[in-house]
Amino acid sequence: MRIIPAIDIIDGKCVRLTKGDYSTKRIYNENPLEVAKEFEAAGIQYLHVVDLDGAKASQIINYKVLEQIASKTTLKIDFGGGLKSDKDLEIAFNSGANQVTGGSIAVKNPAVFESWIAKFGAKKIILGADFYPDTFGGKIAINGWQEESSLALLPFINKYQEKGIQYVICTDISKDGMLQGPSFDIYKDILSVRAQSRTNDNLLTVPKEETIDLKLIASGGISTFNELPKLAEIGCEGVIIGKAIYENKISLQQLQKFIVDGL
């Protein structure tokens, strides 16, 4: 399972939010490159960068930060936040992104998102499947997590698998930044060979039997190192870790050992 630390950018600085709420912003470092180099020194190979200014503006903003990290480290970067046009993607890739993530665009303009898969290839495009079970009933959230779509989680993922998507970042927004543990049961459902629909709370509206085979990246709520082997056992292809690193709940030494030993 790949370890993918997160760097969220506002005003060119490394920040973290809670549940996507901009009013909870906390700055952890004025220089995201310093943070990225620390990750690289610990043997980490991957990085998740989110342009939070871009998410608000619906266009790429902090591409200079991406360019700096990509040019001065060997980290393979997936980049997201406000990517809405072919021009945004070209800027991101030209600035050094290895992959880009699209969430709201996949809901609001599927034709454009599908054209990205065809143009750039499924290995370059990640589907962002962000959901908020407490408020949105398991529906996909869009526009910086402020708006509910009509699409349920599993059918949304299944639809884009049929279009060729391989990589999916799945974030339980209710757990994001809360340090209360990830949504193990949701990830089990998604990765189950025969995913059963939930009839009690209608969280996942899917057929009773569904074949799922994808590279699922867990995101949201990671709080302790012991959660990582559990996610790997479930079958997650990667895990995005943010606040747990910045709040010293998980050390870079622990992550380095996990990468080397798988433990």
Q: Exposure pattern of 47-75 as b/e (b: 16+ CB <10 Å)?
A: bbbbbbbbbbebbbbbbebbbbbbeebeb
DSSP states of the chain as a string? -EEEEEEEEETTEEEEEETTEEEEEEEEES-HHHHHHHHHHTT--EEEEEEHHHHHHTS---HHHHHHHHHHS--EEEEESS--SHHHHHHHHHTT-SEEEESHHHHH-HHHHHHHHHHH-TTTEEEEEEE-HHHHTTEEEETTTTEEEEEEHHHHHHHHHHTT--EEEEEEGGGTTT-S---HHHHHHHH-TTPPP-TTT--S---SS-----EEEEES----TTHHHHHHHHT-SEEEE-HHHHTTSS-HHHHHHHHHH--
**Marked catalytic residue, from 88, 130, 172, 176:** 130
176 is catalytic: no
Helices 184-191 and 153-162 pack at an angle, to 10 degrees, of 40
| 263, burial (CB in 10 Å: exposed 0-12, middle 13-18, buried 19+) | exposed
Given the residues 8, 88, 176, 189, the one annotated as active site: 8
Active site residue 8: yes
Q: Which residues are catalytic?
A: 8, 130
